[in-house]
Structure 1
């Protein structure tokens, strides 16, 4: 039988250590049917031949931790992500508000938290732009909001308001008056609950737009790491109507500490509904927890106090006992725990909870995930492999950028600063790793994350030799973390992540061979085509192809 598609004219990087390079690949009925010479022999009169034009065909990328609905909606508000100063943010807010006089709440997403000293943003700065409507802007990490005075009035935050559990209302120096900066979900959620909910149709459109961007970056599978009950219908509609979606996804149901026992009662039914509605496209294996916050806001849970705030170890969203009980409960229902943990205290609490679940529920293939794992105590490094924990890491964060120099390093000091994003160390201890973007926190483009993991440098190439260079990894290892690593996280390593006969034809065509590309140029490689089970979801297969520099 002849193949539907044959790829030739470049290098086929299989990801398979036994046969890492082939010269061709053939696809039949959405699956790889042959590689190498056998693929070339599978051409028939109706076979589509894709000329790789000297480029490379690889397993498509996954993204093991992302927020596509949230990110898609964020594209619709005030465009503050690229602003380089407080003054620029204020100007953009003023202009957007003038252009949208009928929008009651002025919202924006993704501005940089280092634009103000110590990440402290004043409501009065926004009042100068908009004073008669509430303004709510969220930082790129989504753990902090900058709001104006009208927003503070609407939510009822005053000098006599006690900080909510799991959150901080930042105060003006020397007073109890709210400054205009809110940190963590305990403080954020009462305000966010006041915002008008976007319609179902708006959310579906936002998801479609986000999914299209991921397909254009070479991604065919996503882990949605924050799914609330209404998001189930958004995903189902997007996957089953119109053109469908260009990506598969696993939905991670979010579980917060309040009323968690009641919340989990619907998880099994929601899982069955999602998976039966879009078989082969949607799964719902995971439950998402937040163990702590983020270092830059001083809310990540640390084993020792912050250097700039000696009384504070950060904010733990769960007590260790409650997190262990909740993780054990969802594990018993057959879900995969997926725990946000950034500080070394948060990571330890997450590892302890996973260990407690395994002890209570016995041996099974649970593949628990700890996401981010920015700061890991040396004693806890071997526990990832011992407990079978997948470290889902965001490699684009492993650089010494202004977030690091202005906010993170001053808060944790040099010793702990040297233990961040220990990718190579985790691998040396035998841990499984998978990569993700955490978009819209940072870019969704895997090639940018791969470049950072390999160089440990900023896009400008600093510092020379890389930041914490002992934690650099090879290009092949980084590619695997975005493909085979994500497939393992998805419990689908027999379906995709490598290019072997019988596996899904989830493929990405790059303009040049990434393994032979100068590491500093990896971020600039063009994605020329993406295929989901043999169906092209990005690219046209025509036009001249610019190529990044090679060795």
Structure 2
């Protein structure tokens, strides 16, 4: 038997438990803590001893809402994410095009949407960099793309092209197409004519995503937008033994094609189960109830202050979301709904309530992701319906995205009702965390730093934004560990350091519970373990 004894540090099993100073792992399973661990390990040479050097050993993190395949693919195209101006983005695209003359399409992500007024970017800016090949860049919200003129031509988008269902094509004052496409109805016009990525490139992107996550202490990720080709990629990666961490797939439900998708959902789940990989599951279906506030497509109960899109975009009209959720729930699949605006959150709660009433009680663990705005009347409904609010703590700060794009659209009163994490948690809801990477940082400690301070990296505002919504460090750690494990139906396997659990661990160089909020992102991940084996770092 393979035995590993971790010792001489703080072992944190999880919230509301007593810390220990040692932990024993046998064949990838936690068997004992503290004195029991040292006694069971004995003094024999067959035990690998890991000196924690006064560090902090805790359950590895889980990310309850992210897009790992998209995140990995960002590293394949031009590096536009670090750019702080339109000129920098254009130059990055120019360099990439020069260095990759054989690339038929130049595809990249994810630029800062606040760098142009109203988030509107002009195709002619990209034409200056590349005029002979299509260029398509995704914004960091992943609900928007910026194209050059060749890409628009390939997609057949002209001044006469009407706005598609679930999409918008902005125009210049002279009526010509600007070059920014909003929401997937418009984005699909371009992606439909783009060549598919090579499968080896896509599998390598999953490896890049694993490198990213494991170096940040994350061992399980909910891929929150999976299409049929993505299922094939994950399955092939699993067959090749290329999945180095755990993934669950949320299969994308599209209102334009939903009737044809139900059978595909069942088949995808069956294919993953037949493969029987310990690193891959597919028991979830992802719905979009709305878009995002920054595009004024998040669905609101009251109109936007700017009024461009009035109440925003409702993806599923009338009772169609409730009926679709009921049918997916009837298949025994988990519901996962993107809902940003308060109207979308209410529609999502209504749909989950309808499915539960229709199909009867079961352990369904439905998820509403983001919940940026929740009306007072709906706060208590999360706990009452057993809905998990999976929230992105990194977003609960007054950064450039908030001040430039969000606040002008919501106004001050609604601005100060965003990301009510503590209110939901205090109501009894099973608050869990996710990052939405690559939309924003996938490092849990980055998000936890905001959850416990509600401040920017500069420490603004003093005392925190909406200080009543600040969470404790332990509660924030739990939201990124045990709570995500429960969302994943994995609480008996990982998320806490208890005998019988898989040894999915992260070793930090210091105790986050005793670290000031602004210093949390600077904590070093010394090592990450999956089933007792080092997946990142050295020991």
Calculate the TM-score normalised by the size of structure 1: 0.95
Q: Residue by residue, what CA displacement relative to the aligned partner does 1:281-317 show, whole Å, maximum 9, x if unpaired?
A: 2111100011110001111111111101265211111
Comparing 222-231 and 273-282, the one that deviates more = 273-282
Tell me the residue number matched to 1:219: 218
- Cα distance between partner residues in 1 of 2:314 and 2:296: 11
Tell me the residue number matched to 2:256: 258
Matched position secondary structure for 1:42: helix
Q: Residue by residue, what CA displacement relative to the aligned partner does 1:126-170 show, whole Å, maximum 9, x if unpaired?
A: 111112211111110111111111222221222221100100001
Structure 1 stretches lacking a partner, 5+ long: 542-551
Q: Residue by residue, what CA displacement relative to the aligned partner does 1:156-196 show, whole Å, maximum 9, x if unpaired?
A: 222221100100001113x4321111100010011011111
Matched position secondary structure for 2:178: strand
Matched, 1:378 2:367: no
C-alpha change, 1:311 and 1:144, in structure 2 (3 Å) is closer
From 347, 350, 353, the counterpart of 1:349: 347
- Cα distance between partner residues in 1 of 2:384 and 2:10: 37
- Cα distance between partner residues in 2 of 1:170 and 1:468: 35
Tell me the residue number matched to 1:318: 316
Matched position secondary structure for 2:146: strand
CA contact (8 A) 1:69 1:203 kept: yes
Residues 67-146 of structure 1 correspond to what in structure 2 (within 5 A)? 67-146=67-146
Comparing 373-382 and 302-311, the one that deviates more = 302-311
- Cα distance between partner residues in 1 of 2:281 and 2:101: 41
Tell me the residue number matched to 2:14: 15
CA contact (8 A) 1:240 1:278 kept: no
- Cα distance between partner residues in 2 of 1:470 and 1:3: 47
- Using the TM superposition, give the Cα deviation of residue 276 of structure 1 relative to its aligned residue in structure 2, in angstroms: 2.2
CA contact (8 A) 1:320 1:349 kept: no
Tell me the residue number matched to 1:330: 328
Matched position secondary structure for 1:10: strand
Tell me the C-alpha RMSD between the 2 structures: 1.3
- Cα distance between partner residues in 2 of 1:9 and 1:246: 28
- Cα distance between partner residues in 2 of 1:275 and 1:223: 16
Tell me the residue number matched to 1:241: 240
Calculate the TM-score normalised by the size of structure 2: 0.98
Q: Residue by residue, what CA displacement relative to the aligned partner does 1:79-112 show, whole Å, maximum 9, x if unpaired?
A: 1001001111111111211222221212210110
Matched position secondary structure for 1:176: coil
Matched, 1:61 2:84: no
- Using the TM superposition, give the Cα deviation of residue 480 of structure 1 relative to its aligned residue in structure 2, in angstroms: 0.3
Tell me the residue number matched to 1:185: 184
Q: Residue by residue, what CA displacement relative to the aligned partner does 1:336-360 show, whole Å, maximum 9, x if unpaired?
A: 0100110111111111111111111
Matched position secondary structure for 1:24: strand
From 430, 433, 449, the counterpart of 2:431: 433
CA contact (8 A) 1:110 1:138 kept: yes
From 292, 296, 308, the counterpart of 2:294: 296
Matched, 1:165 2:165: yes
Matched position secondary structure for 1:407: helix
C-alpha change, 1:201 and 1:278, in structure 2 (3 Å) is farther
CA contact (8 A) 2:15 2:474 kept: no
> Structure 1 runs of 4+ off > 4 angstroms?
none
From 432, 443, 446, the counterpart of 1:445: 443
- Cα distance between partner residues in 2 of 1:447 and 1:78: 27
- Cα distance between partner residues in 1 of 2:296 and 2:534: 44
CA contact (8 A) 1:3 1:42 kept: no
CA contact (8 A) 1:320 1:353 kept: no
Matched, 1:148 2:110: no
Matched position secondary structure for 2:319: helix
Structure 2 stretches lacking a partner, 5+ long: none
Tell me the residue number matched to 2:388: 390
Tell me the residue number matched to 2:409: 411
- Cα distance between partner residues in 2 of 1:103 and 1:230: 21
Comparing 451-460 and 337-346, the one that deviates more = 451-460
- Cα distance between partner residues in 1 of 2:456 and 2:203: 34
- Cα distance between partner residues in 2 of 1:275 and 1:444: 27
C-alpha change, 1:460 and 1:311, in structure 2 (3 Å) is closer
Tell me the residue number matched to 2:363: 365
CA contact (8 A) 2:482 2:496 kept: yes
Q: Residue by residue, what CA displacement relative to the aligned partner does 1:211-248 show, whole Å, maximum 9, x if unpaired?
A: 12111111111111111112222112222324x42211
- Cα distance between partner residues in 1 of 2:95 and 2:201: 23
CA contact (8 A) 1:511 1:525 kept: yes
Matched position secondary structure for 1:171: coil
- Using the TM superposition, give the Cα deviation of residue 261 of structure 1 relative to its aligned residue in structure 2, in angstroms: 1.3
- Cα distance between partner residues in 1 of 2:180 and 2:309: 20
- Cα distance between partner residues in 1 of 2:18 and 2:514: 13
Tell me the residue number matched to 1:549: none
- Using the TM superposition, give the Cα deviation of residue 3 of structure 1 relative to its aligned residue in structure 2, in angstroms: 6.9
